[in-house]
Structure 1
Amino acid sequence: MKNLFIATAVLISTISFAQQREDWNLRGERKRTAQGIKSGEIKPREAVAIKRQARDVKQAKRYALADGKITAKERANIARQDRQLDRTIYRTKHN
């Protein structure tokens, strides 16, 4: 019983840490977007589009985690969406 409790606690903390790590990237993107809005490089309408795209990335991560395991195909799809969001922010700030 004690081993089951310890294994469960380790599993929960590992999943929590993995999910936190996934959100760190989105926090960085939110900071970059906020800085762009503050400096005037990103207009409000562009910020809405970026937020929508970030929401889609986060939703894809949630769907991938829904069954408890992220497959290689899901991971590749999320990474592609994440890179696309990074490029969108960069292009918006530098146009």
Structure 2
Amino acid sequence: MNQLLRTLFLTATFAAAGSTIAQPATPRVDQREAHQQQRMAQGVASGQLTPRETQRLEAEQARIERTETRAKADGVVTPAERRHLAHEQNRASRHIAKQKHDRQRRH
């Protein structure tokens, strides 16, 4: 029991310490990611996106998230990195729109 309490205390201590480490904020990127996920979920629910289209769009979103993580790794997201993320998100947005409005439907 004592070992369990010590483990819980250490876990809570490390979690608290980890939460105080400053991460560069990218609220626009995060907001756009959430909106694009909603658009894709709506497309899946309505049948506008096929499973294969959804898989490709999800992979594209994962690539954007990895790019964001790399940009944050050094503690600063530079204006060039923000432009690159915006460019990737613009392209992903176009892909979502194109796939939702093509004539393919989930059967």
TM tier, smaller? 0.7 to 0.9
> TM-score, normalization: structure 1?
0.77
Partner of 2:63: 56
Aligned counterpart in structure 1 of residue 83 of structure 2, from 58, 76, 89? 76
CA distance in 1: counterparts of 2:47 and 2:69, whole angstroms: 32
Aligned counterpart in structure 1 of residue 36 of structure 2, from 24, 29, 32? 29
Partner of 1:38: 45
When the two chains are superposed, the root-mean-square deviation of aligned CA atoms in Å is 1.9
How many positions carry a matched residue from both structures? 83
CA distance in 1: counterparts of 2:35 and 2:82, whole angstroms: 19
Aligned-partner residue type, residue 53 of structure 1: E
Structure with larger RCO (C-alpha < 8 A, sep 6+): 2
> TM-score, normalization: structure 2?
0.69
What stretches of structure 2 of length at least 5 have no aligned partner? 1-19, 103-107
CA distance in 1: counterparts of 2:78 and 2:32, whole angstroms: 20
Partner of 1:67: 74
Aligned-partner residue type, residue 100 of structure 2: K
More helix by share: 1
Change (3 A) 1:31 1:84: same
Deviation at 1:22, TM superposition (A): 2.9
Aligned-partner residue type, residue 89 of structure 1: I
Partner of 1:3: none
Structure number with bigger Rg:
2
